[in-house]
Structure 1
Amino acid sequence: MAGKDRQLTLRFLAEPADVNFGGKVHGGAVMKWIDLAAYAAAAGWSGKYCITVYAGGIRFVKPIHVGNIVEVTGKVIYTGTTSMHIAIDVKAGDPKESERHLTTHCIVIMVAVDDDGNPISVPEWIPTTADDIRLRDSAMRLMDMRKRIGAEMEAHVKPSVV
């Protein structure tokens, strides 16, 4: 049911096919897992098909090793009219042990769309705990920063005419 579950965790083993030339899990594989978890969290919250419109602030903190158990957690931290900001934490560790360490963190923005691909409204998420309010406020500050960065980036996508 839409608007009920704001968090989910995908769990799986890092496989040899995920390895890079340095012998660790490839960053591109981690980014794919992030997108999958963000979609699942957004679709679960909204009850709609969702598309990725932004992924940013990706921080690769520690490497993931082949054979590690990987946990990719997506949590709704802000909702707009049609968008959902999803905080993603990737943790990994030896499957024989209970400890998992943070390997990657980022924010992904998903938009719910109808069958024609047009944005459609999502249930509002209202924070209730101090930690949730802190996360929501952080998401709002990041929105303002992205607007300023977007304005600066215009120079790169619209070159001046000389």
Structure 2
Amino acid sequence: MTDQHKTSFQFISEPTDVNFGGKVHGGVVMKWIDQTAYTCARTWASTYCVTVYVGGIRFYKPINIGEVIKIDAYVIYTGKTSIHIAVDVYSRDFEQEGFEKKTHCVIVFVSVDPQGKPVPVRKWEPKTQTQMQLANYAKKLKELREQIGKEMAPFFSE
């Protein structure tokens, strides 16, 4: 059986992905991230999933048109109905051997039934030291989101 907690996509960036600066548009990268992360979440949950949070997106370096793109998405934490996915975007020129990390973020999905109601997901059990560190990272991000939500609540109430 394949490793159901990870998904990886590879393809070539295209001229239609260009921004005004001649590099790959950040919105295009975000679309790639969402597609890869959704595939990872859907595979893990075996149900339809909806994006509920995208956070900490960090663009380290630009991506050039015509580069090979590799996107790795992997489960780092699960709640009762949520799946936290870390996503790393890499690229390389065809003349390069190795990929260079260009972007990172965490996306949270919720598993839902056909009526859109949240449904439980199986628990992710980290096994390696790195996986345990990533699970702790996800928990810290969750705590920060909750804290920010409380602080911002007065600005979003009617």
Identity %, equivalent residues: 46
Could you tell me which residue of structure 1 aligns to residue 87 of structure 2? 88
Deviation at 1:157, TM superposition (A): 1.6
Matches of 1:152 and 1:103, distance apart in 2 = 31
Deviation at 1:138, TM superposition (A): 0.9
Q: List per-residue Cα deviations over 1:23-44 (Å, max 9, x = no partner).
A: 0000000000010011000001
Matches of 2:72 and 2:105, distance apart in 1 = 11
Q: List per-residue Cα deviations over 1:98-134 (Å, max 9, x = no partner).
A: 2110100000001111111111111111111111111
Unaligned runs of 5+ in 1: none
Q: Which moved more, 1:148-157 or 1:123-132?
A: 148-157
Residue 135, structure 1, aligned to residue 134, structure 2: yes
TM-score scaled by length of structure 1: 0.93
Matches of 1:26 and 1:57, distance apart in 2 = 18
Could you tell me which residue of structure 2 aligns to residue 54 of structure 1? 53
Q: List per-residue Cα deviations over 1:57-76 (Å, max 9, x = no partner).
A: 00000000000111111000
Could you tell me which residue of structure 2 aligns to residue 35 of structure 1? 34
Residue 68, structure 1, aligned to residue 63, structure 2: no
Letter of the 1:109 counterpart = V
Structure 1's consecutive aligned runs of 4 or more residues displaced over 2 angstroms after TM superposition are 95-98
Letter of the 2:89 counterpart = V
TM-score scaled by length of structure 2: 0.95
Could you tell me which residue of structure 1 aligns to residue 6 of structure 2? 7
Deviation at 1:4, TM superposition (A): 5.1
Deviation at 1:142, TM superposition (A): 0.8
Unaligned runs of 5+ in 2: none
Matches of 2:48 and 2:94, distance apart in 1 = 33
Deviation at 1:97, TM superposition (A): 2.7
Matches of 2:32 and 2:58, distance apart in 1 = 14
Could you tell me which residue of structure 1 aligns to residue 118 of structure 2? 119
Matches of 2:125 and 2:28, distance apart in 1 = 32
Matches of 2:11 and 2:68, distance apart in 1 = 6
Matches of 2:13 and 2:155, distance apart in 1 = 37
Q: Is the 8 A contact 1:73 1:89 kept in 2?
A: yes
